Amino acid sequence: MRTTLIRRALEGLIPPKIASPHSVTGGSVGAQMSGVVDFYSKLPKGPAPPMSTGIKARYWDGKNASAAPIYGTILSLMLLGYSLDYFMHLRHHKNKHH
């Protein structure tokens, strides 16, 4: 019972083509190692490519980096704040003092 639990737990760690019973029990060590070397030589080398997408990838990563979103956000917040002030309060003071 415990061997099946251990086998299931370790199943995802070892690639199935390398850990077959035939390669473990029979053959020479060189044949076993060639399977391991073949498997690991096919894996991609170097750092993983950046996975950022959307606004972050467009404006902050890579060669097109700029601060345009920051300035746009500040400007839009200022315009929104002024328009709210105007329509809620300042338009009443347009022609008269109180």
The DSSP result for the chain, as a single string, is: -HHHHHHHHHTTTS-TTTS-HHHHHSS-HHHHHHHHHHHHHTS--SSPPP---THHHHHTSGGG--SHHHHHHHHHHHHHHHHHHHHHTGGGGSS---
Residue 15 pLDDT class (50, 70, 90 cuts)? low
What does the domain layout of the chain look like in residue ranges? 2-41, 55-93
Q: Is the pTM higher than 0.85?
A: no
Contact predicate 23/32, CB 8 Å? yes
Q: What pLDDT is recorded for position 77?
A: 97
pLDDT tens digits for range 44-88? 888 877 677 777 777 777 777 888 888 999 999 999 999 988 888
Q: What pLDDT is recorded for position 78?
A: 97
